[in-house]
Structure 1
Amino acid sequence: MVEAVEDRAPFQVLVLPYRQTEGGLLYALFRRLDGAYWQGVAGGGEAGEAPLQAARRETAEEAGLAGDFEFIELDARASIPVVSVTGEFTWGPEVLVLPEYAFGVRADASELALSSEHTEYSWFSFNEAMSAVRWDSNRTALWELDHRLRRSSVAGES
């Protein structure tokens, strides 16, 4: 069901939960109910929200991560055809694509919860996650997040 335009902001968010384990970094992906593919937490902004606010809300709704979690704003951006998101030209004929803003969220000790949009979630290594996701925007955001986390880990060990 498409939300009314007054309730929906013309942007998307992508959030990649991650955790540090003894075996290395792991990334949570969610299998979509309507397409049976893996992706990060994804959703649209609501009217009046900034991308980080939308990322926090979507992460609480889709993964059960509500509260004071550490989010990392990524530089990765994608453009998604508006009709692929809402099924129509929701904001008129001039809004053809929506920007997608990407974030990472640290979820070390947290158990994730599933929304009705997903059938399951799983934790993946970087290489497994890169192979599992369907969308290039997810791969780009995963690469950037992994690089940032590994770089900060190495810098922290110096």
Structure 2
Amino acid sequence: MAEAVGGRAAFQVLVLPYRQTETGLLYALFRRSDGAYWQGVAGGGEAEEAPLQAARREATEEAGLVGEFEFVELDARATIPVVHVTAEFTWGPDVLVIPEFAFGVQADNSELNLSCEHTEYRWFAIDAAMKAVQWDSNRTALWELDHRLRRRGPLQPS
């Protein structure tokens, strides 16, 4: 992985808040203020952060999830063209794509609070969430998270 430049690490994280309701699992998606599309919480790592640390920070900054929450590290990975992330070749001319690491976070009893990066959020059932998201990486991570959560059985409140 490329070294951090200007405090920015060469990776992205995707965080998918979820909750268990009487009618089933729901997933929070956020409408981007700069593109009007739906996605999970997404952001870049900072200089010395590991992906899980970045996921915790981004969940706090973009969704207002403060405190101890259970994060589920997913196997889903994607690579993103660096110019789609920073609009330039931030880590030099040879770093063309950066990895995206995906996580779920249980947010059953939490009120989400938006950052300026989003105009709204909604809770979606899995089928609606899969249709709503803009990016294939979000669909893959949603599918994996939903499958893992259903396989492990009823969720405990966070």
Normalised by the size of structure 2, how large is the TM-score?
Answer: 0.94
Cα distance per residue 1:37-57 (max 9 Å; x no partner): 000000000000000000000
Structure that is richer in helix per residue:
1
Distance in 1 (alpha carbons) for counterparts of 2:133 and 2:5? 29
Equivalent position SS for 2:153:
helix
User: What is the CA RMSD across the aligned residues, in angstroms?
Assistant: 1.3
Distance in 1 (alpha carbons) for counterparts of 2:39 and 2:25? 17
Q: Match of 1:61? A: 61
The equivalences for 1:7-156 within 5 A come to 7-153=7-153
Deviation of the 1:67 alpha carbon: 1.2
Equivalent position SS for 2:10:
strand
Deviation of the 1:5 alpha carbon: 2.4
Distance in 2 (alpha carbons) for counterparts of 1:153 and 1:34? 37
Structure 2 residue identity aligned to 1:133: V
Cα distance per residue 1:38-96 (max 9 Å; x no partner): 00000000000000000000000000001110000000000000000000000001111
Structure 1 residue identity aligned to 2:56: R
Equivalent position SS for 1:93:
coil
User: Percent identity at matched positions?
Assistant: 79
Structure 1's unaligned 5+ residue stretches are none
Cα distance per residue 1:99-124 (max 9 Å; x no partner): 00000000000000000000000000
Distance in 2 (alpha carbons) for counterparts of 1:6 and 1:32? 25
Structure 2's unaligned 5+ residue stretches are none
Q: Which runs of 4+ in 1 moved over 6 A?
A: none
Distance in 1 (alpha carbons) for counterparts of 2:112 and 2:88? 32
Distance in 1 (alpha carbons) for counterparts of 2:39 and 2:74? 16
Distance in 1 (alpha carbons) for counterparts of 2:95 and 2:150? 37
Equivalenced residues, count: 152
Equivalent position SS for 1:6:
coil
